[in-house]
């Protein structure tokens, strides 16, 4: 048997896992297997086969060993492109996973995580917080409810355009003093603190966005319950006296309480549904992401967090939150998706 093949056989018998994989890939290539066949058999990429075959031909079997001190590893332009393509095939990935892949496939290890994050950014990935999703969520119900809302909007298009009917998506938010805390860049070894007397101090907000205009209205409340929900509806009616209103919200208990039903019966006075002053619709259950107001709350809270250094009291926190959101117009995709064709 060829001496070089014997060396490879020996490494395959005595080497560590990564060495064995390299030796096996090189041996199959030298035996005349097609690159793709060798890669498939060894569970590696074609580029892996090419790389280690070239190193073997240049440095012998020693070049395949983990302890071999050759030139420092780096990715060639084509290899970098292949790595980015590999990253893009994944829905999520960690830096540790990328490190293992580069080490095993290309024998490349960077001393700084910055080199790995650059690869992830080039692959159009961003670092983000994962979000919880209710396991009871029913996608069929979500899509059915979305269609129901779209059909109603399309049916009343002329009245919406004239301002006779206003469609609102509504939600409540509970803002805490402690919510202002977030990650910031600061000096190493020094703690960055925000002085607050009671981080549980809170403010409840009622908010609604107009599906047609994108206008956002905001109101304070002591808490979220039937009384303050009715107060908010009355305030909405007072602001837009001439219009009839359709409010779309979640299934909170105070959105379907007996007190609210009694209020609506009195308000609508036995009129046919098409003439009711206020109509209520619910989003599909267990899917809060349907409501664009959730995103609006997040924008307001993030704005306050970014400006924490300017705030010294909870009163200033709520004032900044209110100033940022009041009277703003929001026309992002979660709102536009209900307009077919777009108004």
Contact 29/35 with Cβ under 8 angstroms? yes
pTM: 0.59
Q: Supply the mean pLDDT for the chain.
A: 84
Residue 256 has pLDDT above 50, yes or no: yes
Confidence of residue 268 (pLDDT cuts 50, 70, 90): very high
**Mean pLDDT (whole number) for 52-71:** 75
Quote the tokens at residue 10: 């020996």
Label each residue of the chain as H, E or C.
CCHHHHHHHHHHHHCCHHHHHHHHHHHHHHCCCCHHHHHHHHCCCHHHHHHHHHHHHHHHHHHHCCCCCCCCCCCCHHHHHHHHHHHHCCCCCCHHHHHHHHHHHHCCCCCCHHHHHHHHHHCCCCCCCCCCCCCCCCHHHHHHHHHHHHHHHHHCHHHHHHCCEEEEEEEEEEEEHHHHCCCCCCCCCCCCCCCCCCCCCEEEEEEEEECCCCEEEEEEECCCCHHHHHHHHHHHHHHCCCCEEEEEECCCHHHCCHHHHHHHHHHHCCCCHHHCCEEEEECCCCCHHHCCHHHHHHHHHHHHHHCHHHCCCHHHHHHHHHHHHCCCECCCHHHHCCCCCCC
Quote the tokens at residue 282: 């619910």
Distance CA 65, CA 76 (A): 21
User: Structural domain boundaries of the chain?
Assistant: 6-64, 77-123, 139-337
* Per-residue pLDDT at 47: 85
Spatial CB neighbours of 129, under 8 Å, sequence gap ≥ 6? none
Residue 246 has pLDDT above 90, yes or no: yes
Among 30-34, 48-52, 72-76, 277-281, the range scoring the smallest mean pLDDT is 72-76
Spatial CB neighbours of 248, under 8 Å, sequence gap ≥ 6? 149, 167, 168, 169, 170, 280, 281, 282, 283, 291
Among 76-90, 146-160, 193-207, 265-279, the range scoring the smallest mean pLDDT is 193-207
Cis peptide leading into residue 341 (ω within 30°): yes
* Per-residue pLDDT at 340: 58
Confidence of residue 183 (pLDDT cuts 50, 70, 90): very low
* Per-residue pLDDT at 184: 44
Distance CA 338, CA 152 (A): 10
Domain 139-337 has CATH 3.40.1440.60: no
* Per-residue pLDDT at 103: 79
Confidence of residue 11 (pLDDT cuts 50, 70, 90): confident
* Per-residue pLDDT at 57: 84
**Mean pLDDT (whole number) for 55-68:** 78
* Per-residue pLDDT at 186: 45
Residue 214 has pLDDT above 90, yes or no: yes
**Mean pLDDT (whole number) for 242-265:** 95
């Amino acid at each position: 048997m060829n001496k070089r093949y014997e060396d490879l056989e020996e490494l395959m018998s005595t080497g560590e896992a990564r060495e064995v994989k390299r030796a096996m890939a090189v041996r199959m290539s030298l035996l005349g297997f097609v690159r793709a066949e060798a890669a498939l058999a060894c569970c590696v990429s074609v580029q892996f086969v090419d790389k280690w075959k070239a190193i073997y031909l240049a440095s012998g079997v020693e070049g395949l060993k983990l302890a071999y001190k050759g030139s420092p590893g780096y990715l060639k332009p084509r290899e970098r492109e292949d790595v980015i393509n590999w990253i893009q095939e994944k829905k999520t990935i960690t830096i540790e996973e990328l490190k293992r892949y580069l080490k095993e496939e290309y024998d490349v290890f960077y001393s700084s995580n910055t080199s790995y994050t650059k690869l992830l950014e080039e692959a159009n990935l961003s670092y983000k917080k994962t979000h919880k999703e209710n396991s009871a969520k029913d996608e069929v119900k979500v899509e059915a409810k979305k269609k129901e809302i779209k059909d109603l909007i399309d049916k009343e298009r002329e009245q919406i355009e004239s301002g006779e009917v206003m469609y609102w998506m509504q939600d409540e938010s509970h803002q805490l003093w402690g919510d202002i805390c977030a990650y910031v860049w600061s000096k190493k070894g020094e703690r960055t603190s925000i002085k607050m007397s009671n981080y549980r101090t809170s403010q409840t907000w009622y908010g609604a966005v107009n599906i047609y205009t994108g206008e956002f209205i905001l109101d304070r409340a002591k808490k979220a319950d039937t009384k303050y929900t009715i107060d908010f509806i009355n305030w909405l009616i007072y602001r837009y006296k001439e219009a009839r209103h359709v409010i779309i919200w979640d299934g909170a208990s105070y959105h379907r309480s007996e007190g609210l039903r009694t209020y609506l019966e009195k308000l609508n006075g036995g009129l046919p549904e098409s003439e009711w002053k206020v109509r209520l619709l619910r989003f599909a259950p267990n899917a809060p992401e349907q409501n664009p107001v959730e995103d609006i709350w997040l924008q307001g809270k993030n704005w306050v967090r970014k400006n924490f250094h300017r705030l010294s009291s909870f009163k200033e926190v709520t004032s900044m939150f209110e100033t940022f959101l009041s009277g703003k117009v929001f026309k992002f995709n979660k709102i536009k998706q209900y307009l077919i064709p777009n108004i």
